[in-house]
Amino acid sequence: MRNLDDKVTFGVIIGTRGFFNPQLASEGRRQVLSLLKRLGYGYVILPEDATGHGAVETYAHAKRCAELFDKHRRQIDGILVILPNFGDELGLVQTLEMARLDVPVLVQASNDRLDQVGVHQRRDAFCGKISVCNNLYQYGIPFTDTSQHTCDIESEQFAQDLAFFAGVCRVVRGLRHARIGAIGARPAPFQTVRYSEKLLQDSGITVITVDLSEILARAQMLDDSAQAVRQKIEQIKAYGQIPPEVLPDQISRQARLSVAIEQWMAENECVASAIKCWTSVQHNFGCATCLSMSLMGQQHMPSACEVDVTGAVSMYALLLASGQAPGFLDWNNNYGDQEDKCVCTHCSSLPREFVGRQIEISPLDLLGETLGRDRCFGAIKGHVAPGDMTFFRISTDDRLGRIKAYLGQGQFTDDPFDMDGGIAVCKVDRLRELMGFICQNGFEHHVAMARGRCADILEEAVTKYLDWDLYRHS
- Domain with 64 in it: what CATH number? 3.40.50.1070
DSSP secondary structure string for all residues of 170-199: HHHHHHHT-EEEEESPPPTT-GGG---HHH
Residue 1 lies in a domain: no
Shared-domain flag, residues 217 and 317: yes
3-state secondary structure of 125: helix
Helix axes 89-99, 59-71, angle to 10 degrees: 30
Is-above-0.95 flag for pTM? yes
d(CA 442, CA 195): 12
Read off the pLDDT of each residue in 152-174 and give the average, rounded to a whole number. Answer: 98
> In the prediction, which pLDDT does 117 show?
59
Residue 140 domain-assigned (yes or no): yes
Same-domain pairing of 443 and 466: yes
| Domain identity same for 319 and 456 | yes
Please report, for the domain that includes residue 256, its CATH number.
3.40.275.10
For residue 368, is it within any domain?
yes
Q: Are residues 455 and 375 in the same domain?
A: yes
Question: How many residues in total does the chain contain?
Answer: 474
**Last residue in a domain, options 176, 205, 234:** 176
- Say if 241 falls within a structural domain: yes
On whether residue 364 sits in a domain, the answer given is yes
Examine residue 3 and state whether it is found in any structural domain, yes or no: no
- What SS3 class is residue 49? coil
pLDDT band at 52 (very low <50, low <70, confident <90, very high): confident
- Per the structure, the count of domains in the chain is 2
Question: Which residues form the domain of 158?
Answer: 9-176
Q: How many alpha carbons lie under 13 Å from residue 238 in its C-beta half-sphere?
A: 6
Domain end call among 154, 176, 198: 176
> Among the three residues 121, 143, 176, which one is the final residue of a domain in this structure?
176
Q: Are residues 64 and 103 in the same domain?
A: yes
Residue 1 has what pLDDT?
Answer: 59
User: Do 218 and 161 sit in the same domain of this protein?
Assistant: no
For residue 406, list its beta bridge partners. 393, 471
Q: Read off the pLDDT of residues 279-330 as tens digits, 9 standing for 90 and up.
A: 999 999 999 999 999 999 999 999 999 999 999 999 999 999 999 999 999 9
Percent of the chain's residues with pLDDT above 70: 98
Q: Count CB atoms within 10 A of the CB of residue 33.
A: 18
* Longest alpha-carbon distance in the chain: 83
- As a whole number of angstroms, the distance between CA 215 and CA 263 comes to 10
Q: What pLDDT digit, counting tens, does each position of 58-94 carry?
A: 999 999 999 999 999 999 999 999 999 998 999 999 9
Clarify whether residues 216 and 144 are in a common domain: no
* Residue 4 located in a structural domain: no
Domain match, 194 and 169 both:
no
pLDDT digits (tens, 9 = 90+) for 86-135: 989 999 999 999 999 999 999 999 998 867 656 666 879 999 999 999 99
Q: Are residues 340 and 199 in the same domain?
A: yes
Q: Are residues 234 and 304 in the same domain?
A: yes
Verify that 324 and 437 share a domain, yes or no: yes
The reply to whether 171 and 198 lie within a common domain is no
Residue 2: inside a domain, yes or no? no
